[in-house]
Amino acid sequence: MLPVLVGVVMELQDCALPLLTEIIPTDQEDVAFRDLDVAILVGSMPRKEGMERKDLLKANVRIFKSQGEALEKYAKKSVKVLVVGNPANTNCLIAAKSAPSIPKKNFSCLTRLDHNRARSQVAVRCGVPATHVRNVIIWGNHSSTQYPDVHHCVVGVAGTELPCFNAVKDDAWLKEDFITTVQQRGAAVIKARKLSSAMSAAKAICDHLRDVWNGTPEGDFISMGVYSSGNSYGVPEDLIYSFPVRVKDKDWKIVDGLAISEFSRSKIMATAEELVEERDEALAFLAA
Ligand code: LMR
């Protein structure tokens, strides 16, 4: 892939980015991971049309173990690690476990793409810009079991913020098609493009890291996959699970105490169960 990297370097230069001072293309872990403040782990075995993400687990466990070990060896202990490559939650857990001297809090995985998808679906339905839709929640896995939840979401319509259900005025859509559209969006993009999402994923990475670095706006929460210590919403410990999160001073906190309906509870647990299965399979591959 090194010749391909030459093209990536050219594109980065051609962006004339105001904060970019140096590019070091390399396939050497001791060069790539040394003294990092932020690591965005994008590379994983890619998913092809018709493939379930679980099929990828085995190959990816090896990749993320090696990258976790490289972080442990070369990166700053304060490094913030964002895992994007799928299956992102479990890859992130494996990387975190392979870097035991870096706090688990420093690891997160990308569900901001799903979060943005949910905002946009609601925005289109209400005829407002996506920026008028706040506080959707993506619970759980970045997979088709994720639960996009709008029970705490508000939508700005004609200068007033309304609860999402009042703004959309179609409970059946919000409880069915909206959820499946967001859950299946990654697969739908692959089907249409014959390639995984790129532009929307890059935008979501920017959104995620901006908030990790600069904090979330007052009153807002966002979705990110973070380490579950078993203390929030009945989600088991030792998973990377997407929760509603606020970030301040480069430190995230799960937004606890939100009212959860029976409808939501079962969906929150179903995606947790998938993550438990993925984790146990991944750990079995590691032990083999
Ligand atoms: C997406 O959500 O667009 C991607 O994560 C899908 C995939 O598996 O590459």
Q: What is the pLDDT of residues 36-64, one digit of tens each?
A: 999 999 988 776 666 666 667 888 999 99
Q: Where do the structural domains in the chain lie, given as residue ranges?
A: 2-109, 112-283
Point out the residues of the chain with pLDDT beneath 50.
Answer: none
Helices 199-214 and 112-126 pack at an angle, to 10 degrees, of 110
Task: Please choose from 189, 200, 242 the residue to mutate so as to test ligand 1's pocket, defined by most ligand atoms within 8 A of CB.
Answer: 189
Q: DSSP readout, 171-185?
A: HHHHHTHHHHHHHHH
CA 222, 228, 231, 232: dihedral to nearest 10 degrees?
30
- Ligand 1 site, residue 86, Cβ cutoff 6 A: yes
Residue nearest (by alpha carbon) to ligand 1 atom 2: 186
What integer pLDDT is reported at residue 288 of this predicted model?
78
Could you tell me the two tokens for 223?
A: 């979705």
Phi, psi of 214 (to 5 degrees): -105, -10
What integer pLDDT is reported at residue 57 of this predicted model?
85
What integer pLDDT is reported at residue 53 of this predicted model?
60
Output Rg (C-alpha) for the chain, integer angstroms: 19
What integer pLDDT is reported at residue 52 of this predicted model?
64
Measured between alpha carbons, how far is 220 from 44 in angstroms, rounded to an integer?
A: 31
What own/partner pairs with CB < 8 Å and gap ≥ 24 does 259-267 have? 259/151, 260/151, 260/233, 261/151, 263/175, 264/139, 264/147, 264/149, 264/151, 265/234, 267/139, 267/147, 267/149, 267/179
Measured between alpha carbons, how far is 14 from 171 in angstroms, rounded to an integer?
A: 47
What integer pLDDT is reported at residue 287 of this predicted model?
85
Residues marked active site are found at 142
Measured between alpha carbons, how far is 213 from 222 in angstroms, rounded to an integer?
A: 14
Q: List, in order, residues 6 or more apart from 78 with CB less than 8 Å away.
A: 37, 106
Could you tell me the two tokens for 253?
A: 């906190």
Q: List, in order, residues 6 or more apart from 126 with CB less than 8 Å away.
A: 132, 133, 155, 157, 167, 168
Task: Please choose from 45, 47, 182 the residue to mutate so as to test ligand 1's pocket, defined by most ligand atoms within 8 A of CB.
Answer: 47
Q: Which of 61, 258, 73, 167 is nearest to 243 (CA)?
A: 258
The pTM assigned to this predicted structure is 0.95
List 154's β-bridge partners, or say none. 134, 163
CA 6, 7, 9, 11: dihedral to nearest 10 degrees?
170
Q: Is 136 exposed, middle or buried (0-12, 13-18, 19+ CB in 10 A)?
A: buried
Ligand 1 atom with the smallest distance to the CA of 200 is 3
Could you tell me the two tokens for 245?
A: 């999160």
As its CATH architecture, domain 112-283 has Alpha-Beta Complex (3.90)
2-109 folds as Rossmann fold (3.40.50)
Ligand 1 atom with the smallest distance to the CA of 84 is 5
- Ligand 1 site, residue 189, Cβ cutoff 6 A: yes
